[in-house]
Structure 1
Amino acid sequence: MSDFVRRHMVDTRPLSSADYRRLWMGQGVSFIGFQLTSTAVSKQIYDITGSSFWVGMLGPANLIPLVVFGLWGGAIADAVDRRRLLIVGALIAWTATLVLLIQTALGSRSVVLLLVTVAVHATGFAITGPTRGAIIPRLLPVELVPAANTLNFLVASLGSVIGPLLAGVVLARGGYGTAYLADALLFGAGFYAAVRLPRLEPVGDVVRPGLRSVVDGLRYISGNRVVMMSFVVDIIAMAFALPRALFPETAAERFGGSSIAFGWLTASIAIGSVLGGLLSGWVGRVRRQGMALTFTIAVWGLSVAAAGLARELWLMVALLAVGGAADLVSAVWRQTILQTHAPDEMRGRMQGVFTVVVAGGPRLGDLRAGITAAWFGATAAWVGGGLACAVAVLVAGAAVPAFWRYRPTTRETGDK
């Protein structure tokens, strides 16, 4: 039994580090609040407009700050104390949550104001995301980084389950203001964890943050086809297949506008990620990671397409959960490649690009889903996107032999 647990269940050894443990727990608690706000904003905009197009506009409202400040924040993380930068980014996001709370308390129905506030919130996330990713290899030995990444994605996925399900109850009983207030209170856990971190001054060659340092990071990525393709396949997965912007319309059309059904749909992908994370002991033993990434993302696309055809809520949730498990596994492999093979003086910039792709890709998916739903209807946008993802990722993966044949080594400095 113990051998089964060791080989197949999640590796918890990184939690023996007090600094990492606080960071992990703080991230988990505050991410529940983040998901509360994200779910509430999505439904609030749909209730105001009755349009999936405007829900889809949350995509660019999040994407633009993520691209600009994700890259810039990653460059800064390579040049300053990462603990201090993490605190600054967290405070920016918290301020945006308070503004959402104030808007709702005043009875504002301005969609533009909501989108602007969401953009400010995304700015804070764009700074904290790459900074937190760059901190982890400084807190743990390299052999524990993959396990730490799995734990991070697991707790984020757990928050993505609890947050939307809690939002469904909160929105039904307390309204949008209650959801934003809960987020503001839960923020304290992540802030406490950041404050308790040790000073994390930059090591190695420090480059002044700016356009040149960002370009250096992008040049590093462009010179490594394996790293580049790990980003490409993730963009395909999110931009083509993510059906998140269609959840409000689907809940309205198939389930009578039930907030509970909306909460389950929003949580479904993360439910699969949690289950995948709990059974992730095998992930670190996979050697053909390029091929495995390609197939897991194809599984994601096909699961999404099948969910779009389902009519029962439980079946939609189950199929989306399968996709969520595949998404978590691929995310762990991609993140580990960046953290273990990039030198410390480049990690902030690598995590900046990772944040842009991981957080920005879903925003492209929101925009794609909203526009195609307006043209062809929600079902066609949902199912067609999933099928297009599966086809595109298989073609892209097979077209780059260096990625398709990729096996991890102790340290990567160029194409393998």
Structure 2
Amino acid sequence: MPAGVKRFLRHLSLDVSPLRDSRDYRLLFVSGVITMFGTLITMVAIPFQMKELTDSYLAVGLVSLAEFVPMVVCGLWGGAMADAHDRRTIILWSEVGLLVTSGALMANALLPEPQVWVLYVVGAVSTGIACLQRPSMEAVFQQVVRHEQQGAAAVLTSLRWNFGAIVAPALGGLLVTTYGSAAAYGMDTLTFVLSLLLLWRIRSLPPAEDAAPASLTSLVAGMRYAMGRSDLMGSYLVDIAAMVFAMATALFPFLADELGAPQALGLLYSAGAVGALIASLTGGWTARVQRHGLGVIIAAGLWGVAVALAGLATNVWLIVVCIALAGAADMISGIFRMTMWNQTIPQELRGRLAGIELLSYASGPMLGNARAGLMASLGGTRFSLGAGGLLCVAAVLGLAAALPKFRRYDARTDEHALAEKARRGSAAEKPTEEHTEEATAQPATTRPSRHPTGPPPGPPPNQDTA
């Protein structure tokens, strides 16, 4: 085999050392695989059931709107909790709560006359619990994976998510159209039971000794830090704008019917993940990009263009291609945002900032689906897609002009990136502390004892709420 081909294949090969070296990461990874399937199946089942019960664009879109307030409140508070309490405890109790909500949806679906209000209320409660859990999940990898393996762990998590996001929605579409919504919710409930059995075996993940208690004061400190940096705010605002104006997954059940292809519902939901998976597999070039702010702007603009083109396409396969291109652009945007966050945010603020990040990548899709439902009720599915995509491009360009520091961000010269790089370099020069840190990342053989419902911020989170 030619040497060039060998180098190319080595470049594509996955580094599985986190799975090999960390027992806790293996448990989290397998738990995530299991529950991700159930969660994404439910993602298809809820709008499908709401459409069956109401046949209303607006009612389907309002499911996302009902989840918005719990997401905001619980996401922020979950970030403060992640910095102040044992993250294993937070994850376990949240998992129990998610199990209960999934069971409630199944019970409602089995009723002779399922209640619409249950979908709104239980959906909101489930979102609140998931958002309390998510910041702990984002921050926990620092404790279970060695420092030098963080990049490999991020790639594994991203690929796991994208693979599941391709297969699970297709399975969800088959389940709900063949066996009904109750079967889909039942599958989700089972996945949470299996996940709890795995998560129970993870060791304790306590906070730092000098951790700030979870309080309004600590929340305000984290928010003040984020608002004081226009580059961070740009990474949040551009993604929110892109999702608000161009996210439209709530329309997929109606779009499938209009195309005369109801069996393509799962394919529509999976297409974005297919594009994201391809982008992640071929995204080695992103490591050489230093202008992350500009990268986010371009990727978000391309996301809007792809959605607008989907509104013009009349063939189901062309629409699938457009949605896949949108998913790829969203993945690239997510890679750049995650890189900026990890390179510049101090470790002691990571949990609270993860809560704020959750708002940026989760609020947009929720509001976007509500926007899509409202615009579709006024002008139809194609109008909602096309106009939303164009509004996305306009909003992204407007924010790019209004936030020059974000647009000009360069990891080679940014003061926050340089300061964090120096801090980590200084910590690496202390062998005793480094040895202690790595030792805590290894599984304890005498102590028994996340499933990330979604992958790293960026495309995965947007796909998660899509």
Specify the TM-score bucket, using the shorter chain as the normaliser. over 0.9
Q: 1:346-357, aligned counterparts within 5 Å? A: 346-357=349-360
Q: Which of 125, 133, 136 is the aligned partner of 1:128? A: 133
Structure 2 contact 344–417 (Cα < 8 Å) conserved:
no
Which residue in 2 is equivalent to 1:194? 199
Shift in Å, 1:412: 5.9
Give deviations 1:157-182, integer Å, cap 9, x for gaps: 22222121001211122111111111
User: Is contact 1:255-1:261 (8 Å) kept?
Assistant: no
Does the aligned pair in 1 maintain the 2:166–2:270 contact within 8 Å? yes
RMSD: 2.1
Question: Compared with structure 1, are the counterparts of its residues 30 and 213 closer, same or farther at alpha carbon in structure 2 (3 Å cutoff)?
Answer: same
- TM-score calculated relative to the size of structure 2: 0.84
| Contact kept in structure 1, 2:343 and 2:417, CA below 8 Å | no
1:107 is aligned to 2:112: yes
| Partner SS, residue 282 of structure 1 | helix
Residue of structure 1 equivalent to 2:8:
4
Q: CA deviation at 1:415?
A: 10
Contact in 2 for aligned 1:297/1:393 (Cα 8 Å): yes
Aligned length: 414
Alignment match, 1:386: 389
Task: Report the alpha carbon displacement of residue 6 of structure 1 after superposing the two structures with TM.
Answer: 4.1
CA spacing shift, 1:94–1:330, aligned 2, 3 Å: same
Question: Does 141-150 or 33-42 show the bigger shift?
Answer: 141-150
- The two structures have a TM-score, normalised by structure 1, of 0.93
Which digits, 9 at most, give the CA deviation of each residue in 1:124-152, with x for residues without a partner?
21022111001112223445434433332
In 1, the alpha carbon distance for the partners of 2:151 and 2:236 equals: 18
Alignment of 1:246-325 (within 5 A): 246-255=251-260, 258=262, 260-325=263-328
Identity in percent: 35
Please say which of residues 47-56 and 370-379 is displaced more in the overlay: 370-379
Q: Partners of 1:137 and 1:42 in 2: how far apart?
A: 36
> CA separation of 1:316/1:9 partners in 2, compared to 1, >3 Å: closer, same or farther?
farther
Q: Distance in 1 between matches of 2:391 and 2:15?
A: 34
User: For residues 106-134 of structure 1, what are the alpha-carbon distances to aligned partners after superposition, in whole Å with 9 as ceiling and x for unaligned?
Assistant: 23332111110111111221022111001
Q: Which runs of 4+ in 1 moved over 6 A?
A: none
Q: Which amino acid aligns with 1:382?
A: L
Q: 2:367 corresponds to which letter in structure 1?
A: L
Where structure 2 has 5 or more consecutive residues not aligned to the other structure, the ranges are: 420-466
Return the alpha-carbon distance in structure 2 between the equivalents of residues 349 and 213 of structure 1. Answer: 8
Letter in 1 for 2:400: G
SS class of match (2:200)? helix
**Cα distance in 2, alignment partners of residues 113 and 20 from structure 1:** 35
- The CA deviation at 1:68 is 0.8
The 3 A distance-change label for structure 1 pair 217 and 383 is same
**Contact between 2:244 and 2:364, CA under 8 Å: does it hold in 1?**
yes
Of 108-117 and 294-303, more deviation after overlay is shown by: 108-117
1:283/1:20 CA distance change after superposition, 3 Å: farther
- Quick check: 2:290–2:412 contact (8 Å CA) kept in 1? no
Cα distance per residue 1:270-302 (max 9 Å; x no partner): 111122222232222221111111111111111
Larger Rg: 2
C-alpha distance in 1 between matches for 2:291 and 2:13: 21
CA distance in 2, matches of 1:316, 1:9: 31
Partner residue of 2:161 out of 150, 156, 163: 156
Matches within 5 A, 1:88-103: 88-103=93-108
Q: Which residue of 2 aligns with 1:244?
A: 249
2:339 aligns with 336
**2-side partners of 1:391 and 1:49: how far apart?**
33
2:19 alignment counterpart = 15
Q: How far apart are the structure 1 equivalents of 2:172 and 2:314?
A: 23
**Aligned equivalents of 2:41, 2:216: Cα separation in 1:** 35
Distance 1:409 1:63 in 2: 37
Moved more, 364-373 or 406-415: 406-415
Instruction: Confirm or deny: 8 A CA contact 2:79 2:352 kept in the other structure.
Output: yes
Partners of 1:10 and 1:408 in 2: how far apart?
Answer: 26
Q: How far apart are 1:14 and its partner, in Å?
A: 3.6
Q: 1:223·1:414 contact (CA, 8 Å) conserved in 2?
A: no
The structure-2 alpha-carbon separation of the partners of 1:108 and 1:123, relative to structure 1 and needing over 3 Å to count, comes to: farther
Checking the alignment, whether the CA contact within 8 Å between 1:89 and 1:128 is kept in structure 2 is: yes
Partner of 2:46: 41
